[in-house]
Homo-oligomer: A and B are copies of this chain.
């Protein structure tokens, strides 16, 4: 695979910060710290100046210094790693560096949806100690800048997401024959997750959803000890994690038996809905149009009111990130976006179906990264050979 180099990201952020009129940003979230520097540890604060060409400064504690140095060098990040022993010393070092790159009245960008009230108080106090005026009124939210920058995946990022999607495909293919009447939801989850790990997933992408029968009417059902019964649909929504990058895919299987025909009809409508949404995915398209395309197909079958969530979201270092694909989204799709299209139809007390694809937006249209068959039946895999002796 291509190396995950981040050297272009710090300068891109600096340019955005300069355009926003702030002196710099203090980055507190693990995901944006990782995206900017390659450092995967859970503790540390990163200071980024609005001035292009200046190194970022990452302050972390003794547990992480060796790892941070190794990872940021491997990622080619232009960052100086500084060690401090206590949280108070860490904040003091951050404030001192802030004071060195902007005046006492400068505005600053923070991830206001990440930093807690007490962390902000403590950073404010540390800034006060070096005569920086870090008042709430001088803080801008950096969240929109980050979610916009992180949307556009590099080829190295796409490789990881595509590999995660392939691992999910292979794992589902291996275990699909075990989706039969009598098996319990949690067992399907266990064998699926074990198969993903065996095929190289670092972890699961998120808590695997396996929902049978009436549980399939709950979009976020957690696998239970409920048995799969004949004639029921089983919704499986899952993914793999590769070097921090997620995949996401949903398939619905229908187990043969009384009532299966009704579930198969519902599945066919939902699958067509997904395919209609996928067909709309291209650069320049407003994301709400993808949502609308999915709903139009459901409406023909009278199922539009059974889709109770937006049809998709971006995927990357986070399982849910920009762009957002729903009826209100004004996000315009562009090359490098990785998004899901996942309509469903749910009737409480009865059951449900969902079909989800993972796509890369390309210069000319899209590439589907999830490649499992969408058929609702569960063919034994690998194919069994029937021998006539």
Contacts and interface: CB of A to CB of B under 8 A. Distances in A.
Number of this chain's copies in the assembly equals 2
A363 to B, nearest CB: 35
A386 interface: no
Contacts of A136: 117, 121, 136
Interface string A201-221: 001000100000000000000
Interface in A70-121: 110, 112-121
A190 interface: yes
Interface string A136-163: 1001010000000000000000000000
A186 interface: yes
A115 B113 CA distance: 9
Nearest to A203: B207
A117, A197, A198, A207: most-surrounded residue (chain B CB, <10 A): A117
Contacts of A139: 117
A118 B139 CA distance: 11
Nearest to A66: B348
A115 B121 CA distance: 12
Contacts of A117: 110, 112-113, 115-117, 120, 136, 139
A116 B118 contact: no
A190 B197 contact: yes
A194 interface: yes
Nearest to A121: B112
Contacts of A190: 194, 197-198
A117 B115 CA distance: 6
Interface in A125-182: 136, 139, 141
A118 to B, nearest CB: 4
Nearest to A124: B136
Nearest to A219: B63
Contacts of A198: 190
B112 A114 contact: no
A194 B197 contact: no
A40 to B, nearest CB: 10
A141 B118 CA distance: 9
A86 to B, nearest CB: 11
A112 B186 CA distance: 37
Nearest to A186: B197
A113 B113 contact: no
A257 to B, nearest CB: 27
A116 B116 CA distance: 4
A143 to B, nearest CB: 8
A41 to B, nearest CB: 10
Contact of A118 (B113, B121, B197): B113
A243 to B, nearest CB: 13
A120 B115 CA distance: 11
A326 to B, nearest CB: 14
Given A190-B194, A194-B190, A115 B116 contact: yes
A240 to B, nearest CB: 13
Given A113-B117, A113-B119, 7 more contacts: A114-B116, A116-B117, A117-B120, A118-B141, A121-B136, A186-B197, A190-B194
Shortest beta-carbon contacts, A-B, top 7: A112-B118, A112-B117, A113-B118, A117-B120, A115-B117, A190-B194, A113-B116
12 contacts: A112-B121, A113-B118, A115-B116, A115-B117, A116-B116, A116-B117, A117-B117, A117-B136, A118-B141, A121-B136, A190-B198, A194-B194
